[in-house]
A = this chain, B = another copy of it.
Amino acid sequence: MSDDQALGITESKEYNTGEWYAEVVQKAGLANYGPDGMSGFIITRPRGYALWEGIQNYLDGQFKATDVQNAYFPLFIPESYLEREKDIVEGFDPEVAWVTHGGNQELEERLAVRPTSESIIAPYMAQWVRSHRDLPLRVNQWCSVVRWEATDTKPFFRTKEFLWQEGHTAHETEEEAYEETMTRLGQYRSLYEDVLAMPVMRGKKPEHDKFPGADTTTTVEALMPDGKSVQAGTSHYLGTSFAAAFDLTYSDEDEEELPAHTTSWGLSWRSLGALIMTHSDDQGLVVPPTIAPEQVVIVPIYQEDTEEKVLDYAEDLREELAEAGVRVELDDRDERNPGFKFNEWELKGVPVRFEIGPHEVDDDEVTVVHRPDGEQAVESRSDVVDAVEDHFDEVYAKLYARAEENLTENVRDAEDRASILGTIGQHGGYVRAPWCGKEECETEIKETISAEIVMVPFEDDEERHHPDVADGCTCAICDDEATETAFFAKSY
């Protein structure tokens, strides 16, 4: 354990969110910044990567249970392939890293390091699909992608290289493809709500903010404690435009050749950034037991004359927990005192601490302490292994409730331009307002306070709509009729 980690968090989540976040990421051992000459890149340390593996394992299981197969496509994409996408997608101008030399040779055609893989996956899907019997086709890859954007680095939120999964599917009909789009969005929501203890809102991006070439872009949005929204996963129904451009066609039962309906959907390690940001506090990292690399840390408390009995008791408990499938660590370092260990494991985000001193041994008990609220309980030694799942559930429920409260309290209604600006300026969070659907009305808000329309609720999601829209009203910004509800927010 290096000394800088032992010092604890010095920044305040409430007052210096950005600095606080950077400090938590580094001191909890999640990531380091890249070397000189590689700003925008990070090193994902084992504790950070373990969280990403938790996300991967859950989603990968969900995907496989719903007929998605993993595959792997090349890291590089020839420039001409990207150009082909450019032809169908007006204004597509990727900020990519270019490979121009292999060894000492200059390449005839330069290669883009993949910023996303539609343009290399679609032509191969086109090869694999001949008849309707080959559909649906669903492939996913876990990989890293590179987007050369010049921005301040924020680990997991803004990095030039990031880890993600990208799923690509092809279907016979629009209905099937749209259902696929929604299935994947539902799996993203489930990741957040069932694993990461984060309520999210599902909806669509406005027409002008869709994925280039998509028919519909759907999103899950998560509200951070600082009042900004995070686009936490997107799922696109691409219509037949990609299929047409890349000859992804199939012959139907009557031997007619038709373009497939395709989807793509992606979730990146931004999910990890949102997780850290949502739950952590001024003591350090907080994560739910569902995904914590260590769910329980046992800290023994002893003097010289009680060392043996306390450590024996603690080790016995550790073994029993490990056998029960609990991810448990016994911190028996002799050179550190219990207070130091408490702070260190709080910094590292272990959700449940077991304290064992001579009293606990004598009384056949264990003192159980929850992160982050410090709530204590005493369990009998014989019950504690069975009780541990209940403690995990309690901790999970507390984290979820806190995040849900933040979301519920921070959706506010506005019916005019001044009130949109004023409400976001004062409170942050989401402001929902009747909207005519035109980009210009968003632009007015964006230029004044850099808030944008992060989401439009689905048509059938009635409780998310601004109540006036159904009754008929004008757009909050212009005098045209309001056709939908816009969620304005500042965003990451």
Contacts and interface: CB of A to CB of B under 8 A. Distances in A.
A15 interface: no
A133 B123 CA distance: 52
A71 B43 contact: yes
23 contacts: A2-B128, A3-B130, A32-B127, A35-B78, A36-B78, A37-B80, A37-B108, A43-B71, A45-B128, A49-B70, A49-B71, A49-B72, A75-B75, A76-B97, A96-B102, A97-B102, A98-B100, A99-B99, A99-B113, A100-B101, A102-B148, A103-B150, A143-B144
Contacts of A194: none
A340 interface: no
Given A69-B50, A113-B99, A148-B103, A74 B43 contact: yes
A153 to B, nearest CB: 12
A120 interface: yes
A150 B105 CA distance: 11
A161 B127 CA distance: 22
Nearest to A41: B74
A123 B49 contact: no
Interface of A: 1-3, 32, 34-38, 41-46, 48-50, 52-53, 69-76, 78, 80-81, 95-103, 108-109, 111, 113, 120, 123-124, 127-128, 130, 133-134, 139, 143-144, 146, 148, 150, 160-161, 163, 335
Contacts of A45: 71, 128
Contacts of A109: 37
Contacts of A108: 37
A139 B43 contact: no
B1 A134 contact: yes
Nearest to A69: B46
Contact of A103 (B36, B50, B95, B101): B95
Contacts of A34: 74
Contacts of A80: 37
Contacts of A35: 78, 81, 120, 123
B124 A43 contact: yes
A110 to B, nearest CB: 8
A75 B43 contact: no
Contact of A74 (B99, B130, B161, B335): B161
A113 B74 CA distance: 13
Given A70-B49, A71-B46, A111-B38, A32 B99 contact: no
A72 B97 contact: no
Contact of A72 (B76, B150, B163): B163
Contacts of A133: 1, 335
Contacts of A101: 97-98, 100
A396 B100 CA distance: 47
A328 to B, nearest CB: 15
A70 B98 contact: no
A241 to B, nearest CB: 21
Given A35-B120, A96-B103, A100-B100, A144 B50 contact: no
A162 to B, nearest CB: 10
A275 to B, nearest CB: 17
